[in-house]
């Protein structure tokens, strides 16, 4: 008989959310650093024509992953699983996990098969501007890499169950295994695929599959520890599956809108000269480092708490958790955005300019990075807003915001692609994020009334944001000033350039922290207090 949890059981403490977010952030940071290293290896090892094809091929299953893995988990799995765990106890939660896993995995398997068969249609939708040779090569890569969605969807389900049970370290670290596999590809797999008459870039598609499978296997010990390593239960008519479908359908529409956005970006750029896809992709990857380091980590850690607070009817707790999420995200996103803009060329030069990647390629990627970096704050904040809607069972609000993003992006990308090339598409990405965030803020204000809890109104969010913005500007000025000492056309293998970039980043970080200390920013004080508590343990 399932053990019934007390309806008065307290949800996780807010301090635990920040601590859990820190664990997730460290794991995600490790993955992002490895991801940057993977991109360095790929850029140096393969031609731009090859990477243009692979990035399109890998984008296609990743687009569906956002819907069928992260989207399904965030909108349907976590709220239903957390509700069962909170109100009915762990035994019922395990049954919900088995049932929802069975349904999701069946869908993922079907999609994987259909994706392999329909690869030509997908490539046409994403890269109609490619010539015949690049088109056929991209189709082959898409067919090889498409089952990646099944593995990464399986890993997302395990990640959600572990997070909901307060285990964040393993789920945070396992995504790094994909990057490990891709880093190894040029060295371990290229010598195997070339004798078979295949292009060297095929090694990347095979490595993606290996990395996806490793993510699943690496979670098994942790899932066994919470007694969740069990065979999924296929029961599509179960009421919990129907509830999940009802929650997921609006999200599917909203994420579908977002993926149309991704598809249009790839499609627009496919008509531009060789290298444009790679310039845009490398810029996006670098932007994802600060986004993943804390914004996505905080969203992953806060969703179970938000769902539990909602289940207990604690509206004030939801508001306070949301406010804390905003402050902590701005603490990271504002300086990251400022530094990415002013240090775009030095960062790209040191990371990428070697091997097959020349100086002009570095300049073009830096232009993409600077404009996308300007939008880091808005895109990071979107990740804080959306879980609040999902915790309330509202999956429609984010849909409307995604629609606003798509409309703004399509209009701006079409208008700017001609005069500015891939940079115009990068500008459109950031501007569309502003439109999405604005609509989310308006909708959430209607849902929660005054978004700031009573305890926080005297200080206000605006004053804190201004302090963080001032510190970020000072940090960018310090880093940008030191970067003038670099001779960037000499490339990324020049030791002096490496030293200048390292010094510029350290100077920016030191100035930011010093400015926040002088301005008595509470975000910094909270981080320092957490570090002192950890040292006393």
Mean pLDDT of 103-108: 88
Query: How would DSSP label each residue in 386-419?
Result: HHHHHHTT--SHHHHHHHHHHHHHHHHHHHHHHH
Mean pLDDT of 165-193: 89
17-39 per-residue burial string, b: 16 or more CB within 10 A, e: under 16 = bbbbbbbbbbbbbbbbebbbebb
Query: 174 or 145: which carries more pLDDT confidence?
Result: 145
What is the Cα–Cα distance from 111 to 68, expressed in whole angstroms? Answer: 9
Q: pLDDT tier at 21 (50, 70, 90 boundaries)?
A: low
- In angstroms, what CA-CA distances link 101 with 115, 161, 217, 220? 20, 10, 16, 14
What is the Cα–Cα distance from 190 to 198, expressed in whole angstroms? Answer: 9
Q: Which residue has the tokens 């609040």?
A: 388
Q: pLDDT tier at 386 (50, 70, 90 boundaries)?
A: confident
- Of 238, 483, 532, 438, the C-alpha closest to 342 is 483
Instruction: Find all residues with CB under 8 Å of 29, minimum gap 6, and list them.
Output: 289, 292, 293
Write the pLDDT tens digit of every residue in 469-526. 999 999 999 999 999 999 999 998 999 999 999 999 999 999 999 999 998 888 787 7
Query: How would DSSP label each residue in 106-125?
Result: HHHHHHHHHHHHTHHHHHHH
- Do the Cβ atoms of 218 and 232 come closer than 8 Å? no
Write the pLDDT tens digit of every residue in 245-264. 887 777 677 667 767 888 89
Mean pLDDT of 382-401: 77
Write the pLDDT tens digit of every residue in 35-90. 889 999 999 999 999 999 999 999 988 887 777 766 666 667 777 888 888 888 88
Instruction: Find all residues with CB under 8 Å of 104, minimum gap 6, and list them.
Output: 68, 72, 77, 153, 157
Which pLDDT score, from 0 to 100, does residue 313 have?
57
Query: How would DSSP label each residue in 164-181?
Result: HTT--HHHHHTTHHHHHH
Instruction: Find all residues with CB under 8 Å of 477, minimum gap 6, and list them.
Output: 342, 511
**Percentage of residues of the chain with pLDDT beyond 70:** 81
Which pLDDT score, from 0 to 100, does residue 246 have?
80
Q: What is the pTM of this model?
A: 0.77
């Amino acid at each position: 008989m399932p053990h019934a949890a007390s309806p008065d059981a307290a949800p996780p403490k807010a301090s635990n959310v920040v601590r859990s977010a820190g664990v997730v952030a460290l794991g995600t940071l490790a993955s992002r650093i490895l991801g940057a290293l993977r991109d360095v290896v790929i850029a140096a090892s393969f031609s731009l024509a090859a990477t243009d094809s692979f990035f399109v091929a890998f984008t296609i299953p990743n687009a569906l992953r956002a819907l069928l893995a992260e989207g399904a988990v965030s909108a349907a799995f976590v709220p239903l699983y957390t509700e069962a765990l909170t109100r009915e106890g762990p035994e019922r939660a395990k049954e919900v996990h088995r049932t929802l896993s069975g349904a999701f995995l069946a869908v993922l398997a079907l999609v994987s098969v259909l994706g392999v068969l329909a690869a030509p249609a997908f490539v046409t939708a994403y890269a109609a501007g490619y010539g015949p040779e690049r088109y056929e090569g991209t189709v082959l890569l898409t067919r090889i890499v498409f089952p990646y969605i099944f593995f990464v969807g399986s890993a997302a389900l395990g990640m959600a169950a572990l997070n909901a049970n307060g285990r964040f370290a393993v789920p945070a670290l396992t995504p790094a295994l994909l990057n490990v596999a891709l880093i190894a590809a040029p060295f371990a797999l290229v010598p195997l695929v070339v004798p078979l008459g295949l292009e060297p870039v095929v090694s990347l598609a095979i490595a993606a599959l290996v990395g996806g499978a490793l993510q699943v296997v690496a979670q098994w010990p942790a899932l066994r520890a919470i007694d969740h390593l069990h065979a999924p239960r296929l029961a599509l008519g179960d009421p919990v599956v129907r509830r999940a479908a009802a929650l997921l359908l609006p999200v599917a529409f909203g994420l579908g809108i977002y993926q149309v956005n991704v598809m249009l970006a790839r499609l627009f750029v496919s008509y531009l000269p060789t290298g444009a896809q790679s310039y845009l992709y490398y810029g996006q990857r670098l932007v994802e480092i600060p986004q993943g380091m804390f914004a996505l980590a905080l969203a992953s850690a806060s969703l179970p708490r938000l769902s539990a607070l909602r289940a207990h009817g604690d509206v004030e707790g939801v508001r306070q958790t949301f406010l804390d999420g905003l402050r902590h995200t701005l603490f990271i996103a504002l300086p990251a955005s400022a530094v990415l803009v002013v240090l775009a060329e030095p960062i790209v030069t040191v990371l990428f300019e070697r091997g097959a990647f020349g100086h002009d390629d570095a300049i073009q990627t830096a232009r993409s990075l600077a404009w996308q970096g300007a939008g880091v704050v808005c895109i990071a904040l979107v990740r804080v807003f959306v879980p609040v809607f999902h915790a309330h069972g509202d999956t429609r609000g984010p849909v409307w915001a995604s629609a606003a993003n798509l409309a703004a992006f399509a209009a701006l990308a079409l208008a700017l692609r001609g005069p500015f090339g891939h940079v115009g598409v990068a500008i459109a990405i950031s501007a569309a994020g502003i439109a999405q965030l604005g609509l989310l803020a308006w909708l959430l204000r209607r849902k929660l009334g005054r978004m700031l809890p009573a305890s926080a109104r005297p200080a206000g969010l605006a004053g804190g944001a201004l302090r963080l913005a001032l510190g970020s500007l000072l940090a960018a000025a310090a880093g940008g000033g030191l970067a003038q000492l670099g001779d960037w056309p000499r490339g990324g293998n020049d030791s002096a350039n490496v030293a200048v970039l390292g010094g510029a980043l350290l100077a920016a970080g030191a100035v930011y922290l010093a400015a926040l200390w002088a301005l008595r920013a509470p975000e910094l004080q909270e981080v320092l207090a957490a570090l002192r508590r950890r040292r006393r343990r």
